[in-house]
Amino acid sequence: NRFKDTRMNDIWLVDFYAPWCGYCKKLEPVWADVGAELKASGSPVRVGKMDATAYSGMSSEFGVRGYPTIKLLKGELAYNYKGPRTKDDIVEFTNRVSGPAVRPLPSKQMFEHMLKRHDVLFVYVGGESPLKEKYIDVATELIVYTYFFSASEEALPESMALPEIPSVAVFKDGSYFTYDGEYSKDPILFCLFDMYSLHLYVSIRICTLDTEKVDFQFGHMDGSDYINSLIMGEVKVPSVIILNTSNEQYFLPDGPTETLEDLVSFITGVLNGSVQAYGGDGIVQRVKRIAFDARSTIMSVFRSSPVLGCFLFGLPLGVISLMCYGICTADSDPDAGDMELMKREGFTDEEEEEEDDEEQRLLGEYLNHHCLY
């Protein structure tokens, strides 16, 4: 409650974790280094961690669905970190997102310095305009992936000539591209760039043959762990996969996607329905997802801490096994148990009859012997 009441006054970088999560334990030393680095650099960002299982209400409020989840909380905004879990990457993300969404480039020297420092550079050029308002809105949302800058026309390099002002330009690989759409109707156009090794997506607009417009989001990922968990299977690396986030369907190409023509053919096949869709959000698929997540969680616990896994799952199984054994071996006939007890203590009817017969035989022999005398 104290954190909830005071967090609006500060910028927080929070790790939402679960005590049993193996990935969370691996993040602990990195998280300590992140806090020390930000504190040493004088960053205003406060670093903390929260047990999402103990404070489930708070974690649900921030949309935490997996562990660990790293979020930067800045006023009313909550930014998800989806990059590599290393100190340098997390610190870079924190410094970028905690600052202004759009940073000014006041001079040509600063402009050229940023061109050398960043592989990709988004720059708004011009004064106040509706395009700048749209640019700031987009930058506020997508600052988790890259930096956004603004500059006056005088700060542009001499070799750069924009067709009109105001304008939005994207610099990459020694070239630049300008956004030429109608900013009053359409979103800003972004191209696909490989800026992060784990997670990156930018929006582009693709027009089909019948002029129907569909929004795609492109991303690059290093490794296949995330995709494997998403499709509950194995994909070859490298590979291309298309996800429909509205119904959790995914599409796989029939063959290798090695050229631009292969990629366009694959996308066109998805759009016209000729490529088979897998997955979905049906009841059967949800049950499979629950089973897969349960299996993945159990395997994660055993991989990270075999002793803890044996205790968590072995102890309940052992208790259940003993209960089942006791039920299966319990006596169903109480009289049979009493008879067994009487047999062990020598009180059966057969033994009593034999004892009576033996006494009568001895008594008869005794009387016969005395009668003879």
The full 3-state SS of 189-206, as one line of letters, equals CCCCCCCCCCCCEEEEEE
Going from the C-alpha of 155 to that of each of 69, 110, 123, 133, 178, the distances in angstroms are: 40, 8, 11, 20, 17
How many residues in total does the chain contain?
A: 373
SS3 115: helix
At CA 112, angle to CA 109 and CA 115, rounded to 5?
150
Give the pair of three-digit tokens for residue 43. 């960053």
Q: Would you call 24 a catalytic residue per the annotation?
A: yes
Going from the C-alpha of 259 to that of each of 192, 263, 264, 266, 348, the distances in angstroms are: 15, 6, 9, 11, 92
Q: Would you call 207 a catalytic residue per the annotation?
A: no
Residues 6+ apart with CB under 8 A from 284: none
CA distance 90 to 95: 9
Q: Which of 24, 191, 328, 371 is catalytic?
A: 24
- Which candidate, 81, 111, 112, places its Cα nearest to that of 95? 81
- C-beta separation of 106 from 155 below 8 A: yes
Q: Which of 21, 324, 328, 371 is catalytic?
A: 21
The amino acid at residue 68 is P
The catalytic residues are 21, 24
